[in-house]
Amino acid sequence: MFKRSKKIGKRSQITVFVIIAIVIVIAILGVIFYPNIRKFIAPTIADFMPNECIEENVKEVMNETFMKGGLMKPELYFMYNNETLGYLCYTSEWYKTCIMQIPMLKQTIESEIEKNSEARISKCVDDMKKGLENRGYSLKVSGSEKASIDIVPEKVIVSLDMAMTVEKGDEKQTIPISKFKTEFKSNAYEMIMVASSIQNWEARYGDSAPESYMAFYPNLKVEKIKQDDGTKVYIITDRNTGEKLQFAIRSLSWPPGLAIPTTKVV
Amino acid sequence: MKDEMQIYKKERKEGACIKFFRVLSLLLAFSVFSFVFSLFLTNFVSAEVNYCCEKTLTGAWCQNAPQEQCDSNFKMAPTSCESTSYCKPGCCFDSIEGLCMESTPQRVCSANGGTWSNDSKCNIPQCTLGCCILADQGAFVTLTRCKQLAGFYGLIADFRRNIANEVECIATAQGADKGACVTYDENLGKNTCKFTTREQCKKPMILEGASVNETLAFANSSKPAPSGFYKGILCSAEELGTECGPSTKTTIIEGKDEVYFTDTCGNIANIYDASRYNDKEYWKKVFKKSESCGYGSSNAGSKTCGNCDYYLGSIAKKATRATGTPTYGNYICVDLSCKKEGKRHGESWCVYDTPSGDSKDPVGSRYFKAVCLNNEVIVEPCADFRNEICIEEKFGGFSEAACRVNRWQDCMQQEEKADCENKDVRDCKWIEGYYFSTQSGQIEKSINETEAKKRGVQQTPTGLCVPYYPPGFVFWGSQGGAAGQTGVQKAPGTFNATTPAFKAQTPVFGTGYVNPSTSSDVASATSQCSSGNAKLTVKFKKTKYPLKIFGTRETAWHCDESFGNCQYLTEEDERNANISVESAKKWAEDMNEICYSLGDCGGYINWLGVRTEDGYAAYQNGKRILGAGGAEILEKEKKTTQQSTAQSQGATSGVTGKFIVDLIKKLGGN
């Protein structure tokens, strides 16, 4: 009898421990996932804001643009690792320095990202509107959903020139333009400036010195890979963020042997 | 150059800058050299292209190209682009970023929103560089750029036109006065402090021109110390009577190499030195880098000293288990060397995928330069086709390498050994005993002065000058590596050419042989390799032997030593007055060696070590004895065989084979 009650006591003790463990695990998960749970159970207007969606999409477009030398569909390109790298400076001739093809790289990249993320950003905004409308809000939108991209030191700013008034019963809230501004950390500016400097070096001297850039910017890795047609593939990598900007340049190229043609395949 | 390092500059010590600029100037020198050299070569370039296409069919702006390559929707003119109004290269000024882009055609500049001017080198007022001082950092940029940078960082632009170079600019920025900016806080009833520059402080300087000790004595004389800027003094100085004091916390600063102590207010103090944490003096005034612990060494991995130096191989980073933990704080000097390769940070060296130089570079081989930076080896291939070679030198155990132009182009024109081996001018090698005859267009045996007199012919050069680093040729039928099809190199030893010279090409011609009907590159390879054609001529003469005992005077054939080439003959050859196949082969092998030293010619190994014999053929009496020959040679051989009955025995084979033609002449004589 005594033995049995001792056994039952042990069992119940274990059960209590298991229950406590489960409660602890649930509590921890609750703390971790609270924001998501709260968003699901009782979302606020802020939870519908498109900033996260915009950041994700713009980052994707930007990375793709960077992998292609600044243009999503470059007309003049060099095929490298199945990627079409746009020529920033190019000459079809041998022994000649290059002619600038994209002189204002930063602006070109900004407008390219704007153009190619427009549809995605619109979708982010539409999702926000639908989400709010489904929750019974009526919306009044002013301004344009068109985004502008600014690449500045250490970050990228995506601004939507729009404001919104949200109404539901007595509740009325105005979302100002500033709330539609998305910022994310990026070293794109520094990388573009280095690329512009390389363009100028190539246009003037026909070559550049990657080590000098790496000496000044320890966080950047600059690779120059010479191809057999005289094209140089440049890859600028940020060691901290992993961002990569690659492009092609053809300048002061030498033909194989003693050939004296002035033009390569254009 | 103008745009060089236009972004906010990292502060660097002067010595480091000098070292950097030494490296830079070296690289620049090579660039300038190659540029000048190319201009020199340009003089030999024929004017094949005679149209300026505003846009080509492939989308390139402003290219000199044949008319058929111009996009007909855009302008074109039968002249060079430099002479046109629409494609004349000029300077494109970006008035937002303040950048000046060189060699930009007007059309391209305008389409991108830039302001175009006529000077392609950007020597225009908007592009004049000056020193932009932003707090304690300096950038050698344009005025517009300076304003733009100042706007980004919320600083006042201090643009100084009188500073003429980047080194001076950085030094000036570094020399900006820094110190404690003390403000009396009425609410707190005591001094607050911020360690900053004089410009940022915007308060009058305390005791202008006084020494640090005098300033400290002055601060100590009144309680609390008066508000103002205390040059060279830290916020933690007790004399200032601020709330800031020493702390064990450390930090790193963007653009600086070292680990710094911070005071209790979060202000930057001196370079981290655990041994001086309790030293009150170390928390009073600013100590220079050179006055700090471990100056002159990298201090990588030091637990007590944070005087890291990027140029000496260390940089401040967050401490991890791998780096070790410092006595105070969370930051440490991390070693940047490449331990596996045994190279120091910043060292560069040459890498070869095959044996190199001495006229023995295998076909398809290439030179590479490797650099150790930030614990990582970066491999940079030198120009393909051995248009560039890698050179390396050691300075006090520190190796530095660079890719430079392979100067092989005029080797064959040199007739003197001294000229050939002049390393200041060219990269060539002298081979004694043979010369390149411009008359016959092939390699022939040299004729020395004595021989020339005897035979009544002209003396020839005593040797042959060939490239020390044989150049590579496009010899596989069509121009390889057209845009979009180029081989991609990963690293030495793993080079992966997608248009390999020695993989399946149909037909495989092998080294040296090309189909001249494709491109001029290929034609060039043909003509270059044809310089390796050679002919073996041996003179036999009948000599009377001395009388044998009980015998008669005998005569026998002998190789005429004065004529040469006897080294290839055996005794039997001499007796028979003929060249045996074996002897001819021996000679052909020697000739092949000369042939492949001219470039990717003859029969030789490729960079993978695979030997091909397709690039040459040796003939004796119309019969091929060595080499597989190219298609053209084989074709000729077929014809020769058909015609052989019509030809006299021992005459020329009739093969104008690309490389080696065997010819034996029995000249006879006494």
Treating both helix axes as pointing N-terminal to C-terminal, what angle do A105-134 and A51-67 enclose, rounded to 10 degrees?
A: 150
E-state strands within B232-375: 250-252, 259-262, 268-271, 314-318, 331-335, 348-352, 367-373
Contacts of A196 (CB under 8 A, 6+ apart): A105, A106, B3, B6, B99, B101
Q: What pLDDT does residue B554 have?
A: 63
pLDDT tier, B669 (very low <50, low <70, confident <90, very high otherwise): very low
Residue B53: inside a domain, yes or no? yes
- Whether pLDDT at B11 is above 50: no
Q: How confident is the model at residue A227 (pLDDT cuts 50, 70, 90)?
A: very high
* Per-residue pLDDT band at B295 (split at 50, 70, 90): very high
Final residue before a domain boundary, out of B154, B172, B190: B172
* Segment B412-438 mean pLDDT: 93
Does pLDDT of B668 surpass 70?
no
Could you tell me if B525 lies within 8 Å of chain A, comparing CB atoms? yes
| Secondary structure element (H or E) that encloses residue B465, with its range | strand B463-467
What is the DSSP secondary-structure string of chain A? Answer: -HHHHHHHHHHHHHHHHHHHHHHHHHHHHHHHHHHHHHHHHS--GGGG-THHHHHHHHHHHHHHHHHTTT-SS-SSEEEETTEEEEEEEE-SBSS---EES-S-HHHHHHHHHHHHHHHHHHHHHHHHHHHHHHTT-EEEEEEEEEEEEEEETTEEEEEEEEEEEEEETTEEEEE-GGGGEEEEE--HHHHHHHHHHHHHHHHHHS---HHHHHHH-TTEEEEEEE-TTSEEEEEEEETTT--EEEEEEE-S---STT---SB---
The pLDDT, as a whole number, for residue B628 is: 77
Query: Is the pLDDT score of A186 beyond 60?
Result: yes
pLDDT above 70 as % of chain A: 91
pLDDT of residue B318: 94
Cβ–Cβ under 8 Å, residues B504 and A238? no
**Letter for the amino acid at B470?**
P
Residue A88 — very low, low, confident or very high, per pLDDT cuts 50/70/90?
A: very high
Region B578-583 average pLDDT: 86
Out of A75, A206, A256, name the one closest to residue B472 (CB). Answer: A256
Asked if B269 contacts B260 with a C-beta cutoff of 8 angstroms, the reply is: yes
What's the whole-number mean pLDDT along residues B563-575? 83
pLDDT tens-digit readout, B224-243? 889 999 999 999 999 998 98
- Cβ contact (<8 Å) for A261 and B482? no
Q: Does B485 touch chain A (CB under 8 A)?
A: yes
Q: Which pLDDT value is given to residue A86?
A: 97
Residues B518 and B389 in one domain: no
Torsion sign across C-alpha atoms B114, B120, B124, B128: positive
Instruction: Give chain B's domain count.
Output: 3
CB contact under 8 A, A266 and B42: no
Give the per-residue pLDDT at B280: 92
Instruction: Give me the amino acid identity at A42.
Output: A
pLDDT at B482: 31
pTM of the model as a whole: 0.81
pLDDT in tens, A104-145: 999 999 999 999 999 999 999 999 999 989 888 898 988 888
pLDDT at B556: 78
Say yes or no to pLDDT of B404 above 60.
yes
Question: Could you identify the residue written with the tokens 């006494």?
Answer: B670
Rg of chain B in Å (alpha carbons): 37
Which sign does the torsion angle of CA B511, B512, B516, B519 carry? positive
B621 or B630, higher pLDDT: B621
B372 touches chain A (CB under 8 A): no
Cβ neighbour number for residue B76 with a 10 Å cutoff: 20
Does any domain span residue B197? Answer: no
pLDDT the model gives residue B616? 84
- Subunit contact B479:A265, Cβ cutoff 8 A: yes
Q: Which residue has the higher pLDDT, B38 or B219?
A: B219
- The pLDDT assigned to B400 comes to 95
* Inside any domain, residue B265: no
CB–CB contact A201 B480 (8 Å):
no
Q: What is the pLDDT of residues B105-131, one digit of tens each?
A: 999 999 999 999 999 999 999 999 999
- Per-residue confidence (pLDDT) for residue B301, from 0 to 100: 94
pLDDT in tens, B494-517: 222 222 222 222 222 222 222 223
Q: What's the confidence (pLDDT) of residue B549?
A: 58
Of the ranges A6-20, B395-409, B446-460, B631-645, which is most confident?
B395-409
Is residue B248 situated within a structural domain? no
Q: Which pairing describes strands A220-226 and A155-168: parallel, antiparallel, or unpaired?
A: unpaired
Which residue spans within B127-172 are E strands per DSSP?
A: 130-134, 137-141, 158-160
Distance CA B667, CA B208 (A): 101
The reported pLDDT for the residue numbered B6 is 37
B482 assigned to some structural domain: no
Q: What is the pLDDT of residues B379-403, one digit of tens each?
A: 999 999 999 999 999 998 899 999 9
Residue B44 in contact with partner chain A when CB distance is under 8 A? yes
Chain A environment of B81 (Cβ under 8 Å): 99
Q: Does the beta-carbon distance from B59 to A203 stay under 8 Å?
A: no
The more confidently predicted of residues B387 and B564 is B387
Q: Stretch A15-43: mean pLDDT, rounded?
A: 81
d(CA A133, CA A149): 28
- Main-chain dihedrals φ then ψ at residue A112, nearest 5 degrees: -65, -40
Helices A188-205 + A105-134 axis angle, to 10: 160
pLDDT band at residue A216 using 50, 70 and 90 as cut-offs: confident
ipTM: 0.85
The answer, for A203 touching chain B at a CB cutoff of 8 Å, is: yes
What percent of chain B is predicted at pLDDT more than 70? 78
- Same-domain check for residues B534 and B649: yes
Mutual angle of helices A188-205 and A51-67, in 10-degree steps: 20
Q: Do A223 and B2 touch (CB under 8 A)?
A: no
- Please provide the average confidence, as pLDDT, over all residues in chain B: 78
Contact B661, B655 (CB under 8 A): yes
Range with the poorest average pLDDT among A28-37, B411-420, B531-540, B627-636 = B627-636
Whether B577 shows a pLDDT value over 90: the answer reads no
DSSP B225: P
Chain Cα centroid distance, residue B594: 28
Q: Who's near B105: CB < 8 A, 6+ residues apart?
A: A99, A100, B61, B62, B81, B86, B87, B88, B89, B90
Q: Which residue has the tokens 């004796």?
A: B620
Please choose, from the candidates B608, B531, B27, B29, the residue with its C-alpha nearest in 3D space to the C-alpha of residue B366. Answer: B608
Minimal CA–CA distance to A124: which of A167, A152, A158, A156? Answer: A158
Q: Within 10 Å of residue B246's Cβ, how many Cβ atoms?
A: 20
Q: Which two tokens stand for residue B184?
A: 């009396």
> Mean pLDDT, to the nearest integer, of B576-585?
86
**What's the pLDDT score for residue B553?**
57
In this complex, which of A80, A153, A199 lies closest to B152 when CB atoms are compared?
A153
Say whether pLDDT at B489 is over 90: no
Q: At what angle do helices A188-205 and B14-42 cross, to 10 degrees?
A: 40
- Choosing from B376, B405, B434, the residue where a domain stops is B405
- List the single range of B162-171, B253-262, B318-327 with lowest mean pLDDT: B162-171
Task: Identify all chain B residues contacting A80, using CB atoms and an 8 Å cutoff.
Answer: 486, 488
User: Are B24 and A209 inside 8 Å of each other by CB?
Assistant: yes
- Distance, CA of B348 to CA of B393 (rounded, Å): 9
Is pLDDT of A191 > 70?
Answer: yes
What Å distances lie between residue A172 and A132, A140, A165, B103, CA to CA? 13, 11, 7, 57
- Asked whether residue B220 is assigned to any structural domain, the reply reads no
Within a domain: residue B369?
Answer: yes
List, in order, residues 6 or more apart from B449 with CB less than 8 Å away.
B459
Is any Cβ of chain A less than 8 angstroms from the Cβ of B64?
A: yes
**Is A231 within 8 Å of B486 when comparing Cβ atoms?**
yes
Average pLDDT, rounded, for chain A:
89
pLDDT beyond 70 at B45: no
Whether chain A has a CB inside 8 Å of the CB on B512: the answer is no
Is B532 a member of any domain?
Answer: yes
Domain that holds residue B639: 509-670
Chosen for mutation from A201, A205, A254 (greatest number of chain B CBs closer than 10 Å) is A254
Residue B362 burial class via C-beta count within 10 angstroms: exposed 0-12, middle 13-18, buried 19 and up: buried
Confidence of residue B548 (pLDDT cuts 50, 70, 90): low
| Contact check, Cβ <8 Å, B42/A223 | no
Residue B544 pLDDT more than 90? no
Residue of B430 and B25 predicted with greater confidence: B430
What residues 12-71 of chain A have any CB closer than 8 A to a CB of chain B? none
> Cα B332 vs. chain centroid, distance in angstroms?
35
Q: Which value, in Å, is the radius of gyration of the alpha carbons in chain A?
A: 28
Count residue pairs from A and B with Cβ separation < 8 A.
288
Confidence of residue B546 (pLDDT cuts 50, 70, 90): low
* Boundary residue ending a domain (B123, B148, B172): B172
